Chains A and B, each alone.
Chain A
Amino acid sequence: MKLTQVFLPAVVLVLSTFTTQAQHVSDASLVAKGAKVYSENCGRCHNARPAEEYSKKEWSVVIPHMRAKAHLTGKEALAVEAFLDSTLTSDVRSEVKGGSLENKVQRSGADLVAQFGCQGCHKINGEGGALGPELSGIVARKGQEFVLKKLTNPKFNNAASAMPKFPMTAADKQAIIDYLSQ
């Protein structure tokens, strides 16, 4: 018993020398990293839970719970949060109809695929995660219609889908389909 009294503080002391400070930053590469961390970890114990199940505020409380369960580092947990948040960004969603994006330069399919972190969960040309199926040749195999539907509502053909409903415009979806058709 005396041993523990000495031992635990000692462990803590040793560990604290390795500390790094948590940072809150959010950028596109963090989102892509988050998609990868999510894909590699969030389906290990249970079905991966899609972003739209909780609000951003709720995720900020749930993710630390899962950080502990999944043994994520603080940085990884933050990246997952950034990824989930990015798909819940309602300001992007509301721009879809209003046409306020019209003046903006349309991003290329490749850029969008990188920005939304599709390859966190899917292999494209051999590169990417395995939570979802490979996407190379998907348009040829299943048709434009199918991919468009999937991007609009991932649950349309699978109620248990982990794929997030991304905030994207019709033009974004077309650009992604064109990219995946190549």
Chain B
Amino acid sequence: MKTNSISTAVASALLLSAAPFTFAQENSSLDIGRLAIAGYGDVSYIAQDNLKDDQGNAVQNNVQARFIPIFLFQMSEKIHIESEIEFSTGQDGETETELEYINMHYYLNDNTIITAGKFLLPFGQFSANIHPSWINKAASTPGIYGGHGGNGSLNGVTTVMNDTGINVSNTWNLGGAGRLFTDFYVVSGPRQEAGAHGGGVEFEAKKGDNNDSFAYGGRVAYAFLPEWEIGVSYYTGPYSNDGDLNYSAYNVDFNWNGTFASVRGEIFGSTAETEGEIEVNGEIDEFVKDFNKNGWYIQGAWQARQLGKAWLNPVELVLRYSDTSSDFDGSVIEEFDEDAGRMGSRVYYGVNYWLEPSAVLKFGAETTSLDNGVNSDDRLFLQLAFGF
């Protein structure tokens, strides 16, 4: 049913656009290629002397390496395929593999792109555009995004989000420097996390869906080139196995880019409907309650090249503050404790040394303080990141 309607959409997209357009390939004076291999990789050393896991055991300092190739195929002027695969060293030295995305772009016309497959959701900035390590100016993720490289003791509002479905992206030229960017997507949607997490929400795209319902979302952004971009994102979809409980999230992002500095930030909130039981006078009452998580971060970066001293040209300073909170009060199910307890604030200080436009050596220090007062951590990072 679900695949049906997606394939209907894709088929009609192809049909509608194939007829009226022919390609001007023969007039081209540009060299057209077919395959390009790009991607990124990193090696990180993380010192986290006072970090404890959930059982209170010390977590060892670790060295981590990742290799993430991107394969880009140009099938024709209108159709591109892209895929990204992540290879990393896991906890026990084994190699972990993960399909980050595999999708097809269909360039419908001058300002519309249809993407089908597994893709990074255009939700906020970090997840879709900033998380590759040569792009992310810090060696860790903003506090609101868990996962992907480890988030220490802090639990994010969500992880980097990818999913399977279809996205329609548009660019509207508002004249001069003004642009309107829109993305709207239908994807298979979040699912209920298995195991002890109880009502946890999971985003990893998997084969098939747990419930027969989609999630919808989109981002609308206004850009004033080259300096400003402000975006608003929304996402909603049922996540429980019975399809009764809903998950929704919003995000407001802004970016400012100057010649020597940049500032970016995101505000992020999510609401998961959760079921619970409460015992009142010996009777069990069931209830559904919203469980909210909120957070934000702001990050500034400054290039010392502004000072005009040749030896400072490759140096960049980074400062980031993140804060997360939740309305967990113990009244829902116990399993949320793990998620909800780990909210707090985090400061990251970094010095980057650029070796190439896409190769950087990052030195970082980070302190996290959790609202519940326990399990705070201080981490030191040394990371070599490169895009190729």
Interface stretch of the complex, out of A98-106, A109-117, A129-137, A172-180: A129-137
- A85: chain B residues at CB < 8 Å are 30-31
Could you say which residues of chain B place their CB within 8 Å of the CB of A54? 36
Q: Please tell me the size bucket of the interface on B.
A: 35 or more
Query: B66-102: which residues lie under 8 A (CB-CB) from chain A?
Result: 70, 72-74, 77, 80, 82
| Cβ contacts under 8 Å, A162 to chain B | 357
Chain B nearest Cβ from A44, distance in angstroms: 6
**Once the chains are docked, how many angstroms separate the CA of A43 from the CA of B356?**
14
Contacts of A4 in B (CB 8 A): 5-6, 9, 186, 214
Judge whether B50 is part of the interface by a CB distance below 8 angstroms: no
Set B114, B223, B226, B229: member contacting A130, Cβ < 8 A: B226
Contact indicator A1/B171 (Cβ below 8 Å) = no
Nearest opposing residue in chain B for A75, CB measure: B110
Tell me how far the C-beta of B118 lies from the nearest C-beta in chain A, rounded to whole angstroms. Answer: 15
Q: When chains A and B are docked, how far (Å) is the Cα of A58 from the Cα of B17?
A: 26
Bound complex: CA A72 to CA B128 (Å) = 16
Chain A positions within 8 Å of B109 at CB level? 15-16, 18-20, 74
Q: Verify if B52 is at the interface (C-beta below 8 Å from A).
A: no
Q: How far apart are the CA atoms of A44 and B358 in the complex, in Å?
A: 14
Query: Within 8 Å CB of A59, what residues of B?
Result: 33
Q: Is the CB of A19 within 8 A of B110?
A: yes
Asked whether A158 is an interface residue with its Cβ less than 8 Å from the other chain, the reply is yes
Candidates B9, B20, B173, B226; contact of A73 at CB < 8 Å? B173
Within 8 A of A (CB), among B330-372: 354-358
Q: List 22 A-B pairs, Cβ < 8 Å.
A: A1-B213, A5-B8, A8-B13, A9-B9, A12-B9, A12-B12, A19-B112, A22-B77, A23-B27, A44-B257, A45-B130, A46-B132, A46-B135, A54-B36, A57-B33, A57-B34, A58-B33, A85-B30, A158-B313, A159-B354, A160-B356, A161-B357
* Contacts beyond the supplied A21-B22, A57-B36: 17 A-B pairs with Cβ under 8 Å: A12-B17, A16-B17, A16-B109, A22-B110, A24-B24, A24-B29, A26-B29, A40-B226, A44-B255, A45-B129, A46-B387, A61-B36, A67-B107, A131-B226, A157-B313, A160-B357, A161-B357
